[in-house]
Structure 1
Amino acid sequence: MGDSDWTLMVDSAEEITAAYAAPPRLNECELFYVQIDERDASVTLGFETSVLPSSPPHAWTGRPYNAVEFYLKFMRVKELRITGWDSSARDAAVTLGRRDDGSVHVSVEGDRSHLDFTASASLLTRTHPFLRADEP
């Protein structure tokens, strides 16, 4: 399954699917946040995209923004592997794949960064528009 189909593997992705005619591809987003919570056996990934929604939520109306961030939380994580980690992770290729048992396999692959795991559950926890400062 391609990275454009990620919303099919994440529960509560309705906010993204309602706002976008075609959800932003994970590989075209910047991975800016990774939280591994061993107490909760979860991994949260935060993404930023400059792809703006075609039908933004009503709450976003009248707010200036040029980027959107969203967070995906993966729960009941197993088989967590990390090999190296550096700034290349921001531009990493992120893929999600459904396993036969219904779990989701997640892979984050950068030049010198690698993270992969399997999760029994996943959900979109937050979507937020913001005004990103122009880069020099």
Structure 2
Amino acid sequence: MTPAWGDFLRNPEKLSGLYENPSSIEPLVLHSVYLDRLGPTITLRLSTTGLPDRMPTEWLAAECDRFEFHLQFLDIADLSMTRARFPASISVDVVARELHRIRVDVLGGSTHLGFSSHRSVTIGRLSAWNSRAPEEQPIHHYLSPLDRRLHSAPPDTWKKNYYGRI
């Protein structure tokens, strides 16, 4: 059986409080890709309609129907990206390699992103939002108290202090 991306999380406790089986959350939508030459790292901003089994009451009250999170991969090599169109319905395929490395392929429609990285993947920026909200930019309800104070929605992709630090 091919391992899911959740099997490589450095901090799985962030999901285990929300999901009964957090190792494979699907379907996924890719909203952005953030590349940072320091590290080098890549951060994927993803969302899903596969809502948590244990939703916070704030998320229920706001009628959230999307769960969003970032996956950050360290020590990137062999990067290739073709025809990236956002948002894109995607799947994330992970194959374990030697020397604590993984091969990651993000595939969906015409979008393909492939790279290898260290096998330790970090998840962060957990939030939920209502896709049916009348606002042009829906309000995100973040799980982290600090994120709740600082953000009501994801900022522009070039904001390093949001996308580069999880």
Structure with more strand by fraction: 1
Q: 1:105 to 1:127 in 2, by over 3 A?
A: same
Relative contact order, higher structure (CA 8 A, sep 6+): 1
**Residues 68-87 of structure 1 mapped to structure 2, 5 A cutoff:** 68-82=67-81, 84-87=82-85
Equivalent pairs, count? 130
Using the size of structure 1 for normalisation, the TM-score is: 0.80
Do residues 62 (structure 1) and 61 (structure 2) align? no
Amino acid at match of 2:77: K
Check conservation: 2:73, 2:117, Cα contact below 8 A: yes
Structure 2 counterpart of 1:130? 129
Unpaired runs of 5+ residues, structure 2, are 135-166
Cα root mean square deviation, aligned: 2.4
Counterparts of 1:27 and 1:96 in 2: how far apart (Å)?
A: 14
Change (3 A) 1:40 1:98: same
Equivalent-residue separation in structure 2 for 1:38 and 1:131 (angstroms)? 33
Q: 5+ unaligned residues in a row in structure 1: which ranges?
A: none
Residue 104 (structure 2) aligns with: 106
Give how far 1:92 is off. Answer: 2.5
Instruction: Give TM-score scaled by structure 2 length.
Output: 0.67
Identical columns (%): 22
Letter in 1 for 2:72: K
